[in-house]
Amino acid sequence: MEYRLKWSQLLSQARSRRESSGEAKPARTVPSGERRTPFEQDYDRIVFSPPFRRLAKKTQVHPMASNDHIHNRLTHSIEVASVARSFARRAAELISRSEQLSPEQLTSIDWIVQSACLIHDIGNPPFGHAGEEVIRTWAKKHWDYFFPSSLAGRWTDQVRTEIMADWEYFEGNAQGFRIAARADNPQAGYLRLTYATLGSVVKYPWGATDEKTRSKRKHNFHSLERDLFADAFQALGLVRGDGTFCRHPLSFLTEAADDICYRILDLEDAVAMHIFDKKRVHQLMLDITGNQENDWMGLAQLRGQAINQLVGEFWKTFENDYEQIMRGEREVDLKSSLPSECKEHLARVSEMYEEIFGHRKKIVTELGAYHVLGRILKALLKTVESIGSASRYDQLHFLSKNCAELAWDKAYVEANLNQPHRWWLGQVMDFVSGMTDNYATRLSRELDGLAFEG
């Protein structure tokens, strides 16, 4: 029998298990008078959450830009959700042709895709993708901080291997899943979104220890979230017969909206930053729209037309490959199947990115990011070592006690003092990835000169 995804499962309202009951929370009946569906609740949880607010002070491409016009992770995520709404409504119409879904289920697709877009960058650390590379590079050079001799014997060889994979291949996508899915992370935001929303943001359905991670350097869950991820994908019907995971159909649309926005809007930012000449970007926008007669239009107008043109091209690919997607056979993004002319335009954008990433101010800032994040990681890992060695809060090293209260708070540390060392490493990951660019820079200065040796 042919394997095929089912929308009745793909729109699952279930959320992650509560540790107290060990059971997945069933879809609740919406009380009379309450208008919010579980998917609307997802959207609201995200908008009101601290991790989402902090995106306003996280780098999109240009770190700590002085020009207020420049995109940050928050404005980027909102724009991605706006573009995705166009995809969602087309998807609802396409699905309704072959499957019998209620009006509420079809409307939910709109909320699910927008929510997925709002959280697609929520796990990214400060300083953009450079922050990811800094964490990976620093970890590979400082394993003694992760596995101190004072805590020898606290982990098996397998656990050690998993911890090393989580940090050596640190991934904002996997960290985002951790923040959005877990039922025990109040410090990180306590979102605990529905499985449908979680599945719709997953681009790389494998974990840190998977062989694919070594070659692609991308994955969507840390080893600590393996079981949680498996539960979600089992409920969504996204587990193949061989046990591997396939992508949620809506994840292709989330990814497409992101691909469109950052390629077009990052170029607009580069003009505002005086990295590119306005005429150069203006001409590229004209080429993407395919209408040279619009050369009288301003850059903002052309940007809107270019986005609209790309939405149409990406949608054609999704619609043409819909059956393959619904059989769980497609894994690569939609842009890899775009028409050749469209690919050529995006290739020109990629070439321009090399100039953006080579801009001197960006390079200088990112070099400083290694020292900023490295100093913070060192302090927190020494604090976690002190926590692991203590049976009571008052036994913590003086500096570690201060750092623990700075990163979390006294009550939280006392309540979790007996948690395994591996659990506390996850708390370090949550804190470091959750920092804004400004806060990381300030905290690093405050920690400068402190000696964490005891």
85-127 pLDDT, tens digit each? 999 999 999 999 988 899 999 999 999 999 999 999 999 999 8
Of 15-19, 138-142, 180-184, 306-310, which range is least confident?
15-19
Residue 364 has pLDDT above 80, yes or no: no
Residues 6+ apart with CB under 8 A from 409: none
364 and 347 in a single domain? The answer is: no
Is 57 in the same domain as 171? yes
Whether 328 and 383 share a structural domain: no
What's the pLDDT tens digit per position in 278-312?
888 888 889 999 887 878 778 888 889 999 999 99
- Is residue 18, in this structure, part of any structural domain at all? no
For residue 26, being part of any structural domain is answered with no
* One domain, residues 330 and 302: yes
Pair (245, 158) in one structural domain: yes
> Does 109 lie in the same domain as 125?
yes
Query: Is residue 235 domain-resident?
Result: yes
The answer to whether position 217 is within a domain reads yes
CATH code for the domain of 164: 1.10.3210.10
End-of-domain residue from the set 324, 357, 390: 357
Q: Is residue 255 one of the residues assigned to a domain? A: no
Task: Note the pLDDT of residue 367.
Answer: 73
In a domain, 454, yes or no: no
Same structural domain, 193 and 289: no
pLDDT of res. 22 = 45
Same-domain status, 123 and 228: yes
74 within domain boundaries: yes
Within this chain, do residues 205 and 82 fall inside the same structural domain, yes or no?
yes
Query: Do 398 and 426 belong to one domain?
Result: yes
Domain of 171, in residue numbers: 37-249
The answer to whether residues 176 and 217 belong to one domain is yes
Q: With a threshold of 0.85, does the pTM exceed it?
A: yes
Judge whether 125 lies within some domain: yes
Q: Are residues 397 and 319 in the same domain?
A: no
Domain tally, the chain: 3
**Which among 190, 217, 249 is the end of a domain?**
249
